[in-house]
Chain A
């Protein structure tokens, strides 16, 4: 459970470059949520999630973030415990690979948690298998000679091997082809069975609509509201006021409807649309 209370954040305070990224943000993310965070570039999404594992320190008198029983606005935080609990996968996580073999790279996180070699290696091998790579084949290879999609999986494995309870993903599918995107999203669903809470930033409304059960919309550093996908994508006023676009499938359904094919305009996934078309065409 993550609770954000009246959180504000200012970059470079008291300089000519000062820039307030977050204004009085309130959020509650329950255990088991697949929580989507959307908003245009510069809306403060990344700044917000970087608070979740104390990468960004909460400024004085700027609210609080509570992760389970840990208050992150406290002076002393048990960072090791927090970072084991909250796993963070950044944009283009493959840019963080550094070790000479895949196995060593994935073991980096678990070893930082203080696990011994054997335990760390076991976790690493499990994680590599979980992300759908063949451990035997890939473990001793250099991460730099893998393909883009494989690199991303290795980077994901590096975070999963730490066995987080909350996984934060910043645009996990950016820069991948449609098939790669689908594979990564399936992979995230598989991970979710071990790591109950997933928080995802994305610009891809189809992913958001299909996978998330709650969606927070950020605009200019403020939370416009937290909605279910049906609420958000079913209401034209909300979409208008939040500046959010429809998922492609929903847009397609709306267009089909305008053409006189009686499909439900509120479909959110490809399979739903498929069923609707089958029903309408008969």
Chain B
């Protein structure tokens, strides 16, 4: 339980950890768009290389990052399998194998691999982001990035506040849950039971005290903010101001360059022969 409290943040000292969360978020969006432009095996390999470089730079054990794949492994296998057996080839090539309505084409296998590969790339990079930034950093970054919406009278600050309160309450709520579960366990509650009905019933003595204490906490927090004259965003300054460093701009430029490379690989605007030679 305890491990959930920091999200999945992995503390370490690295360039990726120190980078400005706003830039990390922008780079992530850029990266996700770019992944959808990948078309050939070479471009997938190219992207994967830079993902690996990022993981290496972040000093997070690579297994920790790969672990995130276990949540999507079922979807991944399922979609690649469907892609493989229901692929219909229009180029007129003969199927490698046929069985009723299922056909397996060489191109089908290629597309299935690419699909799986793309899914993996889509999962890995956001994982690196959450492993290297604390929830609070992400929240601040998001608020800063969304601040132009203030012109449209959208209360960005309020949303950010809600988010950061929710985030900062998670650890104490987890602690509270732990305590209540322990208290009820020592009163003989059967969380250890294998019977699922008993298990669900056993959650009631945990959930009700948890609700009660959440309301109590919320009340206390509201009082505390009130008594410190909190009036919302107007005229407020920040304790930790986000500051973009040169390295952040360099990283952003670098990823822009990668995007351009991928676009060139995909569309081959100048008709370069070597790109065609890189093939499928």
Contact = CB atoms under 8 A, between A and B. Distances in A.
Interface of A: 11-12, 15-17, 50, 53, 55, 79-80, 83-84, 86-88, 90-91, 93, 95-99, 108-109, 112-113, 144, 158-159, 162
Contacts of B184: 96, 108
A88 B213 CA distance: 20
B5 to A, nearest CB: 9
A107 to B, nearest CB: 10
> How many of chain B's residues touch chain A, expressed as a range?
20 to 34
Contacts of A98: 204-206, 208-209
A162 B188 contact: yes
B186 A95 contact: no
Interface string B177-194: 001101111111110100
- 10 closest A-B pairs by beta carbon, nearest first, are A112-B188, A88-B186, A98-B208, A96-B183, A109-B187, A98-B205, A55-B182, A90-B183, A83-B188, A98-B209
B153 interface: no
Contacts of B11: 16
Contacts of B179: 90-91, 95
B3 interface: yes
A93 B183 contact: yes
B152 interface: no
Nearest to B216: A95
B187 A108 contact: yes
B185 A83 contact: yes
A158 B187 contact: yes
5 contacts: A17-B3, A88-B182, A90-B182, A112-B190, A162-B187
Contacts of A16: 10-12
B212 interface: yes
Contacts of A91: 179
Given A17-B3, A98-B208, A144-B212, A80 B188 contact: yes
Given A79-B192, A98-B205, A159 B3 contact: no
B67 interface: no
Given A16-B11, A90-B183, A95 B213 contact: yes
Interface string B194-236: 0000000000111011001100000000000000000000000
B183 A88 contact: yes
A48 to B, nearest CB: 14
Contact of B187 (A11, A50, A95, A112): A112
A11 B208 CA distance: 28
A95 B209 contact: yes
Nearest to A90: B183
B188 A97 contact: no
Contacts of A86: 186
B2 interface: yes
A159 B10 contact: no
Contacts of B182: 50, 55, 88, 90
A78 B190 CA distance: 13
A95 B180 contact: yes
Contact of B186 (A11, A17, A83, A144): A83
Nearest to B184: A96
Nearest to A113: B188
A144 B212 CA distance: 9
A113 B188 CA distance: 6
A58 B85 CA distance: 51
Nearest to B211: A98
A15 B12 CA distance: 12
Contact of A96 (B2, B180, B188, B190): B180
Given A108-B188, A159-B187, 20 more contacts: A83-B186, A84-B188, A86-B186, A88-B186, A91-B179, A93-B183, A95-B183, A95-B209, A95-B212, A96-B180, A96-B183, A96-B205, A98-B204, A98-B206, A108-B184, A109-B188, A112-B189, A158-B187, A159-B186, A162-B188
